Structure 1
C-alpha cells in the first residue's frame, strides 16, 4: 500500500507540475486565458481534445457500463467515433475560420456572431444552457476522481470531490486553457499506456485470448450478444440503438469544452493533422477501455451482484489496485484522477468564460472577472458532485445530450451557409434540451433503446425547417442566408 500511495502522489505531482509550468508563458489577458492565444499546434489540440472527450467518462463510466452490458457496448464506440468523424469533415475547419474572422473568445459568442451578426440574445441563452450542462458535466468528473480515491485509499467519496475541486481551483488559476492542454497531452499517453497495460494483464490472467473469449461467452447467454435483448420497437430496435449513438458522436460539435480546442488551433490549415491525432488516439483508447470493461467482468464477478451501476464503475480502480505492482497501479490511478481533474478544469473554464464574457455587461468583462466566475462554477460543480446519486456514466450522457441537442443543429445550419434570425436561433437552442428532458418521461425501454440526443437534435432541426418556411412567407422566397438576414441583425 505504501508503494501504491507513493507512486500515486509522485505521478499526480508530475501531472500538476506540467499544468502549473504553463504560468511561465502566461499572459494576463483573456485571449491567452480562454484560448491559449489561438496558438495550439495540431498535436496538442488533437491530444487535448481526445483527453477531454474521454477522461472520467471512459475510465469510470464506459468501463462500468461495459461490465454490465457486455459486447453490446461496442455500438457506443462505433456510433460515437463514426458520427464524430463524419461531422468533423463538415464543421471543424469552418469553425476555426469563423473564430478568427470575428475574434470570438467563447463558444456562445461564436454561435451569436458566426457571420458577424452579433446576436446578443443568442449569446445569453447559449451561455445559460452551457453553464447548466457543463456544470453537471464537471460534477461527473469530480465524482469519477472521487471514486478512484475511495477505492485507492478508502476515503469517503465526498472528501475526494472536495480535494479534486480544490486542485481544479489552483489548476484554473495557474494558466487557464494552456495549463489544461499541456496536462491533457501528457495524460493522453498515460491513459493509453494504462489501458493497454490493463488489457494485457487481464487477458494473461485468463490464459490468453481464446480462454478469455470462452470465459466471456460463459458469463451468461446474453452477455456477448451484439445488441441488448430488451430493446423497444421490435425489429427496428437494433437500428435505432445504433443511430442513437451515431447522433451522440455528431453531438460533439455541441460540446464547448472540446470545440474550444479546435477554436484555439494555430491555423485552420492544421485541422487535418489535429484530426489525425484526435481520431487515432480516440479509437485506440476506446477499444482498450471496452476490453478492460469486458475482462473486469471475469476478474471481479462479485461486483455484478450489486444492484446499481454505481458499484460497477469501480471496476478499473479495483483491478489496478489488485493486479498491478504498486508503482504501476499508482501510475494508472494517478492518470485517471489527473484526467478527471484536467477535464473538470476545461469544463469549468468554459463555464466561467460564458459567465464573464457572455452573461455579464461589458464593463465587468476582464481577466479578473473570469477568475472570479471560475470560483463560482467550481462551487456549483462540487455541490452537484456531493449530492447527486447519478452514476458518472449517466451524468456525462445527460450533459452531453443537452449540449449536443442545443448547439449541434445550429452549427450544422451555419456551416451549410444559412443564418437564421435571432428569434429562430433561440427557439432552436432551447427546443433541443427541452425535448431531451421531456424524453426521460417515456417508457424506460424506449429511453434505453434510442439515446436521448437523437430526438433532441431532430427537434432542433425541425424547428429550423418550420421557422424557415415562416420567414420565407414573410419575406418572399429567399433562403435564410447571411446576405438576406443582413437587415435583421
Structure 2
C-alpha cells in the first residue's frame, strides 16, 4: 500500500518538475503560463482544483452524515457553477489579455484600463487570508487520510504535501500546477470510480444497494428532516443556497486563474466541456460513495465522518488499490493546495507590496514562504475540512463574485464603491456564519446579495463603461 502510494506521488512530482523545462523565466509565465495552455489542460486542471480534499474528505463525510439530501448540494453547486461560467469566464479571459496583470485582483482592478490600487490591495488582502485558510484545509485533508490508513501522526500528511507542492511550484509555477492537476484528475476519477464499483458489487448490485440504504430511517429522504424553515420554503432555500455556492466559483482566484491561462479566448467552450464532463461524473460518484459508506461503516460516538472514504477503502480493497485511493485523495488536496499557494504568492508580490516583484527568484521564494505559512496553519488546526473550505469559499465568493458580475455587465463602479462592496460582501458572510444563521441558508447567498445591492448604486457609470466593455469584448 505504501509503495503504491509513493509511486503515484513520485510521478506527480516528476511531472511538475518537468514543466520547468518550458519555463520562460518571467513573472507572466510563472503566474499565467504566458496564456498558452490548451483547453483540455485548462478544463482538467480547473476540475481537479475545484474537486479537492473537500470532495474526498468533506463532501463524503457530509453525505455519510446527511444521506440523500446531499444530492441537492451536488445539483445546486454544479448548476450555480455552470450559470457563472456561461457569463463570466470568457469575459475574464478577454480582460486578462487586455491587461498586463498576472493576478486575479490585478485584472479586476484594471478591468477598464485604469488601475485602482486600493481595490487591488483589498482583493489581494482578502484573498491572501482566505486562501491560506483554504490551503491549510487541503493539507489537513491529506493528513486525515494518512492517519487512518498508515496510523501516521496527523502532521505527517501536511508536511509531505507541503514539501511536494513547494518543489514543483518552485520549479514551474502555474504550468507545473496545471500539468500535475491534469494527471491528478485522472487518478482522482479512477480512484473514486473503482471504490464505487467495488462497493456496489460487494452489496449485490445497484438494486440491493438502494434497498439497504432505504432501510436506514430517514437516510434516503429527498430533503433533510431537520430544516429550520418549515414547509416547501425549507427545501427551496436549501437548494438555492448551494446553487449560490456553485456560482461563487467566479470569486475563487485559484480556480479562475486557470481560465485566465487559456491559449485562445475562442477555445473557452472546449475548456468548459472538459471541465463539466469531468465535474459531473466525479461529483456523482463521490455522492454515491458517501451514501454507501454508511452501510460499511455504521459509525457511532466518536467516529469522524470525514474519515469515511479511507476507512471504507481499507475494508474493501487490496492494499495496492488502497494506495491508489490514497493517491487520489492526496492528488485532490495537492491540486488545490498548489493553486491556492500560487494565488497567495501573486497576492503578495503583485497586489499588496508597494512595488511589484519582477525577479523570478524572489517570486519563487515568496511561494516557498507562503507554503510554510499554510503548513503552520494546518499543523495547528484539525477542524472539519468541510467547514473550513465552506467558510473560505463563501467568504471569497461573497467578496468578489458581485464585483465580477457587474464588471461583466459593463458597469464601472467607482473604486470606493467597489471596495465597499467587496468588504460588505465578505463581512456579511462571516457574520452570517458567526451567528449560526448558516443553519437556515448558506452564508454566501446573503453575502453576494449585499455586494450586488451596493454595486447597483452606480447607475451613472454605465454609459461610460459600456463602450469600453464592448471594445474589450467583455459585454454580452
TM-score grouping bracket, smaller chain normalisation? over 0.9
CA positional deviation for 1:84: 0.7
**Partner residue of 1:322?**
315
8 Å CA contact 2:162, 2:375 repeated in 1:
yes
Aligned to 2:474: none
Aligned to 1:176: 173
Note the alpha carbon deviations across 1:134-159, whole angstroms, 9 max, x for none.
00110010001111111221111112
User: Does the CA contact (< 8 Å) of 2:184 and 2:335 recur in 1?
Assistant: no
C-alpha distance in structure 1 between counterparts of 2:23 and 2:315, whole Å: 41
CA distance in 2, matches of 1:378, 1:293: 31
- SS in structure 1 of the partner of residue 434 of structure 2: coil
Structure 1 residue aligned with 2:301: 306
> 1:263 corresponds to which residue?
260
Q: What corresponds to 1:475 in structure 2? A: none
Q: CA deviation at 1:485?
A: 10
Q: CA separation in 2, counterparts of 1:393 and 1:27?
A: 38
**Cα-to-partner distance string for 1:305-335 (whole Å, 9 max, x where unaligned):** 1357xx1111111122221112222122112
Work out the CA distance in 2 between the residues paired with 1:272 and 1:76: 25
SS at match of 2:378: helix
Give the match for residue 223 of structure 2. 227
Query: Is the CA contact 1:356–1:366 (under 8 Å) kept in the aligned structure 2?
Result: no
Q: TM-score, normalised by structure 1?
A: 0.93
1:46 counterpart residue number: 43
- Asked if 1 retains the 8 angstrom alpha-carbon contact of 2:184 and 2:332, the reply is yes
Q: Which residue of 1 aligns with 2:24?
A: 27
Structure 1 residue 371 and structure 2 residue 364: aligned? Answer: yes
- Distance in 2 (CA, whole Å) between partners of 1:17 and 1:103 is 31
C-alpha displacement of 1:380: 2.0
Q: Aligned partners of 1:209, 1:62: CA distance in 2, in Å? A: 21
3-state DSSP of counterpart to 1:313: helix
Q: Distance in 2 between matches of 1:88 and 1:345?
A: 22
Query: Distance between the aligned counterparts of 1:320 and 1:27, measured in 2?
Result: 42
- C-alpha distance after superposition, 1:5-47 (max 9, x if no partner): 1111112111211111111111211111101121010000000
Instruction: Please identify, of 419-428 and 317-326, the stretch whose mean Cα deviation from structure 2 is larger.
Output: 317-326
**TM-superposed deviation, 1:484:** 9.7
1:482 aligns with 2:473: no
Q: CA deviation at 1:449?
A: 3.0
Q: Does 1:451 align with 2:434?
A: no
Paired residue for 1:413? 406
Q: May I ask how many residue pairs the two structures share in their alignment?
A: 468
The answer to whether structure 1 residue 386 and structure 2 residue 383 are counterparts is: no
Matched, 1:424 2:417: yes
What is the match of residue 274 of structure 1? Answer: 271
Moved more, 70-79 or 12-21: 12-21
Q: CA RMSD in A?
A: 1.6
Contact 1:147/1:157 (CA < 8 Å) preserved in 2?
Answer: yes
Q: Which 5+ residue runs of structure 2 have no aligned equivalent?
A: 470-476
For structure 1, which runs of at least 5 residues remain unmatched after alignment?
473-477
1:246 aligned residue: 243
Aligned 8 A contact 2:195 2:289 in 1 = yes
The CA deviation string for residues 191-217 of structure 1, in whole angstroms up to 9 with x for no partner, is 111111111111111111111111111
1:480 deviation in Å? Answer: 6.1
Matches of residues 191-202 of structure 1 in structure 2 within 5 Å?
Answer: 191-202=188-199
| TM-score, normalization by structure 2 | 0.95
Distance in structure 2 (CA, Å) of the matches to 1:81 and 1:339: 18
